[in-house]
Amino acid sequence: MTINVCTVVGARPQFVKAAAVSAAFAEWNAAGGNAVRETILHTGQHYDDAMSGVFFRQLGIPTPAIDLNIHGGTASENTAAMIVALSGQFAERRPDLVLLYGDTTSTLAATIAAEQLRLPMSHVEAGPRMGNRDHPEEFNRIVADHAARWLFCPSELAADNLRRENVTGTIEVCGDVMLDVVRRFLPFGRRPDLPSGFVLATIHRPQNTDCRDRLAALVDGLGALGRPVLFACHPRTRAALVRYGLDLPPTVIPSEPLDYLSLLGAVQECAFVVTDSGGLPKEAGFLGKRSLTVSSESPWPELISAGTTRVVGADARALVESADWASRPQPDAARPFGHGYAGEKIARTIALVSETP
């Protein structure tokens, strides 16, 4: 029996996660398992080569069947356009399963489109919670979790969150697919041409980029670290710096967003990471580096408990005062996110369980 899976991606973090599961589908088929026919639908949420195309090439992700090219509008406009477009794609293709990742606008739109057509869904990276609905990602993830039939959790803590919320889907702790990708591609990481002791920084969340005071405080904090800072600038962040008239300090070196292999190399070589990303603190932790989280919360209390990240918010003083802590070696800790074989578990479950009505 062939299982037809429609995978929906649209943003950079989803490309990384999809790389692990798409590879596992291919390995499952090659080993003679029930055939999984995966069709990738790209919403176009992240659309330029630096944020999209290069990830497909580097990580060996199958070419999307279609790129819906939806971006540039407000969150509501993009969500509405994605729902309409994905509904058409789902109605035409009638997949046995819709596979979703993470917490982006694309995830929310695909959830609504699939639910309205009564198509079963699986959600990869189900269960993390920030406890603050000011983050649009929190709402997106909750909606996907409560609609999904199968929920693949990166940790036991994430699964506990779902049990407390009484989700109706089947919960499986599989580990974190991002660890799969780090383990697989780490030997190919590209080292940056920067002095030793540099800091890697990324800022992109609306909480920071849509507020001049928060973004200005973070720029000041990066400049006050007294170290070279490689600032990989998301297009939203670059536009916000211009809009608010904020100049970067001389020690802060802006760059285009890093491709995945360059990101791995930069994390390996840096002293520590400053970020509001959800995924980068995990990748840093997987590589033995600490991070300072500059959003108001972290979705990963596992990292806080392990001494891998510290939440400092948009506070320049807290950022500087935590730099010494962040530059110390990461302590040995338990592995709450598994051992890098989450994709295999997900592929096996989808191939076998999706056969049942």
Q: Is the pLDDT of residue 79 over 60?
A: yes
The span from the CA of 342 to the CA of 4, in Å, is: 20
Give me the helix-helix angle, 105-116 and 136-147, nearest 10°.
30
Alpha helices in 50-173 (DSSP H): 54-59, 75-93, 105-116, 136-147, 156-164
**Cβ-contact 306, 335 below 8 angstroms:** no
The span from the CA of 132 to the CA of 136, in Å, is: 9
The span from the CA of 327 to the CA of 315, in Å, is: 18
pTM above 0.85, yes or no: yes
Nearest in space to 70 (alpha carbons), one of 59, 83, 58, 88:
83
How many CB atoms are closer than 10 A to CB 193? 6
Domain with CATH 3.40.50.2000 in the chain: 3-176+338-353, 186-327
pLDDT-based confidence at residue 51 (cuts at 50, 70, 90)? low
Q: Quote the tokens at residue 100.
A: 């979703």
Helix (H) or strand (E) holding 151, with range, is strand 150-153
Give the pLDDT confidence score for residue 195 in this predicted structure: 86
Question: pLDDT over 90 for what percent of the chain?
Answer: 82
Give the pLDDT confidence score for residue 354 in this predicted structure: 53
Q: What is the pLDDT of residues 103-141, one digit of tens each?
A: 999 999 999 999 999 999 999 999 999 888 878 899 999
Helix (H) or strand (E) holding 121, with range, is strand 121-124
The span from the CA of 82 to the CA of 120, in Å, is: 18
Q: What is the pLDDT of residues 230-239, one digit of tens each?
A: 999 999 999 9
Q: What is the pLDDT of residues 270-297, one digit of tens each?
A: 999 999 998 999 999 999 999 999 998 8
Q: Is the pLDDT of residue 356 over 60?
A: no
pLDDT-based confidence at residue 35 (cuts at 50, 70, 90)? confident
Nearest in space to 87 (alpha carbons), one of 103, 71, 69, 111:
111
Q: Is the pLDDT of residue 332 over 90?
A: no
How many CB atoms are closer than 10 A to CB 169? 19
Question: Angle at CA 87, nearest 5°, toward 81 and 88?
Answer: 95
How many CB atoms are closer than 10 A to CB 215? 21
The span from the CA of 16 to the CA of 184, in Å, is: 12
Domain 3-176+338-353 CATH (choose: 3.30.70.20, 3.30.70.920, 3.40.50.2000, 3.40.50.20): 3.40.50.2000
Q: What are phi and psi of 202, to 5 degrees?
A: -140, 140
What is the three-class DSSP state of 258?
A: coil
What is the three-class DSSP state of 41?
A: strand
Give the pLDDT confidence score for residue 16 in this predicted structure: 93
pLDDT-based confidence at residue 191 (cuts at 50, 70, 90)? confident
For the 186-327 domain, the top CATH level (class) is: alpha beta
Give me the helix-helix angle, 342-353 and 177-185, nearest 10°.
130
DSSP strand E in 185-339: where?
199-202, 229-232, 252-255, 272-275, 291-293, 309-311
Nearest in space to 39 (alpha carbons), one of 17, 7, 82:
7
Give the pLDDT confidence score for residue 49 in this predicted structure: 63
- Find the farthest-apart pair of alpha carbons in the chain and give their distance in angstroms, rounded: 60
Q: Quote the tokens at residue 290.
A: 């600490």
Q: Is the pLDDT of residue 357 over 60?
A: no
What is the three-class DSSP state of 277?
A: coil
The span from the CA of 337 to the CA of 125, in Å, is: 11
Question: pLDDT over 70 for what percent of the chain?
Answer: 97
